[in-house]
Homo-oligomer: A and B are copies of this chain.
Amino acid sequence: MSDEKKVAVPLGDQAELVVPGFKAAAVKAGIRGKDRLDMALIYSEKPAAVAGCFTTSQVKAAPVLLDMEHLKSGSARAILVNSGVANACSGAQGMAFAKDTAVMVAQALAVQNTDVHVCSTGVIGQQLEMAWFNKGVPALVTSLSPGGFGAVAQAMMTTDTVPKVEKISLDIGGREVSILGLAKGAGMIMPNMATMLSFVMTDAAIAVDVLQAMLSKAVAQSFNVITVDGDTSTNDTVLLLANGVAGHEPLVSVDSPEAQLFQEALDRLTKNLALKIVADGEGATKLITVRVQGAVNNGDAEKIGRTIANSPLFKTACFGEDANWGRIFAAAGRAGVDFDQSKVDIFFDEVQMVAKGLGLFANEAAATQVLKQEDFVVTVDLHSGSDNCEIYTCDFSYEYVKINGDYRS
C-alpha cells in the first residue's frame, strides 16, 4: 500500500488453518466491486459454546446490538461477516437487515436464528442491500470447507494491508486441541471504514460461562491494550466459538490446570493478533510498546500508558526517530495521575534517557539508534509502587494523514 510500510506480517501457511468441526468460505458478493472477497461465513458442524466482547461505544452498529442479543443463548453455529458497509448509524432499516440476514443464514444451514452471529465492517451510515446477500449467502453455504479460513481473513479486510491469522495447538487431557484466530483492523476507525473484528474457533470443550471469562481476560491483555489512533469503532466485535469436537473432558472451572493451559494459549493467540493489528496500523512504520512500571495501582499505570500511546506528539516523534523524552514526560504529566516527577526514569529499550526526572543527554545517540528499529519499548518507571502495564501502539506518519485525509478525494 505504501513505500513507508515497513512492519508487516505475512499470511501463515493456509493448509494449517483448520480446526476440526469448523468450515468456512468467502465470496465476492459485489459490495466492494467485482474483484474483492467481501462476504464470508464460518460454520460449526456441532453446536458450539460462544463468548463475545463488543465495542464500549455508545454508538453501536446494528449487528453488534443483534449479536449481543444472540449471545444470551450461549450457543452458536455460524458467523456471517461482510466488509464494505458497516451497517452502523443505519437506524431501524439497518437492524432489519441484520436480523433478515441472520435468518437467511439460519434457514440455509437449518439452525436456530439465535445461533447465527452477523458482523459488518466498512462505511458508516450507508445501508446494506439485500441483493448482495441473496447472491452471497447461497454461494457461501455451498462452498463451505475446512480450508476456507484464509479466504475469510481476506474477505474481512478493509484498509488492512495484510490478512491476520494465528493458530496454536495444545494438549488437553491427552487430546490435541486447536485454536484458530482471525482478525482485521488497521485503525480503531478507518477512513470512514470501521472496526476491529476477530473470530476465534476452537475444538476444545468449554462451559459457556468459563469460555466468556476466558475471552474477557484474553481481550483485556490484547485487543483492549492496543491503539492506533485512540478511536473506538461502532462495530468492534470479538467472538470465540468452542465446539468440543476434540473430545476431552469439558473445562468447567477457570481454575483447573487444563483451563489455565487453554487461557495461556488464548492469551498468546489474541495478543499476537492484536500486535498484528498495530503493526498494520494506518501508515505505521514502527510497533511501539509503552511500558509503565512502578505505579501505585494498575489503573494509574494504564492511564499514563494510554495517554503516552495516544499522544500525537509522541507518535510523530517516533516516526521522526527522535528520542524526545520531554514529550513522554509531558504526556505522563497530563494523564491525571499523581506522581513525583523527581523519581521518574525513562528508557528506550535498555538505553536510559531520564534518571530521577533529569535528562541524560549523553545517551541521546544511543537512544536514537533504538528508535531506528522497527519495534522498540519505551519504559516509564514512576518508582511509586509495584504495578505495571503495557500498551501497544504505532507511530504517526505522513501516510496516516494521507490515508485519513485524502480517502475520498
| A residues lining the B interface (CB < 8 Å) | 56-60, 86, 88-91, 123-126, 187, 189, 192, 194, 229-234, 310-313, 316-317, 319-322, 324-327, 329-335, 337-339, 341-342, 354, 356-359, 361, 396-398, 400-402, 404-409
**One of B90, B342, B358, B405 near A397 (C-beta < 8 A):** B405
Q: Which residues of B sit under 8 angstroms from A189, Cβ to Cβ?
A: 313, 326-327, 330
**One of B58, B86, B401 near A316 (C-beta < 8 A):** B401
Contact assessment for B231 and A311 in the assembled complex, using a CB-CB cutoff below 8 Å: yes
Contact assessment for A312 and B229 in the assembled complex, using a CB-CB cutoff below 8 Å: yes
Contact assessment for B332 and A59 in the assembled complex, using a CB-CB cutoff below 8 Å: yes
**One of B60, B126, B333, B341 near A232 (C-beta < 8 A):** B333
Bound-state Cα–Cα, A348 to B88, Å: 20
Contact assessment for A89 and B358 in the assembled complex, using a CB-CB cutoff below 8 Å: yes
Residue of B nearest to A405 (CB): B320
Contact assessment for B330 and A404 in the assembled complex, using a CB-CB cutoff below 8 Å: no
A330 with B229, Cβ < 8 A, contacts A58-B339, A357-B89, A358-B91 known: no
Q: Which residues of B sit under 8 angstroms from A57, Cβ to Cβ?
A: 330, 333-334
Contact assessment for A322 and B234 in the assembled complex, using a CB-CB cutoff below 8 Å: no
Looking at the assembled complex, report how far the CB atom of A317 sits from the nearest CB atom of chain B, in whole angstroms. Answer: 7
Contacts A56-B334, A317-B405, A320-B406 known; 11 new A-B pairs at CB < 8 A: A58-B335, A59-B341, A88-B330, A124-B327, A125-B358, A192-B322, A194-B330, A231-B327, A316-B401, A319-B405, A322-B408
Bound-state Cα–Cα, A329 to B124, Å: 9
Residue of B nearest to A91 (CB): B358
A326 with B125, Cβ < 8 A, contacts A230-B312, A332-B58 known: yes
Bound-state Cα–Cα, A332 to B189, Å: 13
Number of copies of this chain in the oligomer?
A: 2
Looking at the assembled complex, report how far the CB atom of A4 sits from the nearest CB atom of chain B, in whole angstroms. Answer: 11
Contact assessment for B329 and A404 in the assembled complex, using a CB-CB cutoff below 8 Å: no
Looking at the assembled complex, report how far the CB atom of A90 sits from the nearest CB atom of chain B, in whole angstroms. Answer: 7
Contact assessment for B89 and A125 in the assembled complex, using a CB-CB cutoff below 8 Å: no
Bound-state Cα–Cα, A105 to B232, Å: 51
**One of B59, B124, B311, B337 near A58 (C-beta < 8 A):** B337
Looking at the assembled complex, report how far the CB atom of A120 sits from the nearest CB atom of chain B, in whole angstroms. Answer: 13
Contact assessment for A313 and B187 in the assembled complex, using a CB-CB cutoff below 8 Å: yes
Residue of B nearest to A231 (CB): B313
Q: Which residues of B sit under 8 angstroms from A400, Cβ to Cβ?
A: 312, 316, 401
Residue of B nearest to A56 (CB): B334
Bound-state Cα–Cα, A334 to B359, Å: 36
Looking at the assembled complex, report how far the CB atom of A83 sits from the nearest CB atom of chain B, in whole angstroms. Answer: 15
Contact assessment for B89 and A409 in the assembled complex, using a CB-CB cutoff below 8 Å: no
Looking at the assembled complex, report how far the CB atom of A335 sits from the nearest CB atom of chain B, in whole angstroms. Answer: 8
Bound-state Cα–Cα, A312 to B57, Å: 17
**Most B Cβ at <10 Å: residue of A327, A334, A396, A408:** A334
Bound-state Cα–Cα, A189 to B330, Å: 8
**Most B Cβ at <10 Å: residue of A187, A194, A333, A408:** A333
Looking at the assembled complex, report how far the CB atom of A337 sits from the nearest CB atom of chain B, in whole angstroms. Answer: 7
A59 with B408, Cβ < 8 A, contacts A125-B359, A230-B312 known: no
Looking at the assembled complex, report how far the CB atom of A230 sits from the nearest CB atom of chain B, in whole angstroms. Answer: 7
Contact assessment for A124 and B330 in the assembled complex, using a CB-CB cutoff below 8 Å: yes
Residue of B nearest to A396 (CB): B401
Contact assessment for B358 and A326 in the assembled complex, using a CB-CB cutoff below 8 Å: no
Contact assessment for A338 and B58 in the assembled complex, using a CB-CB cutoff below 8 Å: yes
Q: Which residues of B sit under 8 angstroms from A341, Cβ to Cβ?
A: 58-60, 89
Contact assessment for B404 and A320 in the assembled complex, using a CB-CB cutoff below 8 Å: yes
Contact assessment for A231 and B359 in the assembled complex, using a CB-CB cutoff below 8 Å: no
Looking at the assembled complex, report how far the CB atom of A293 sits from the nearest CB atom of chain B, in whole angstroms. Answer: 17
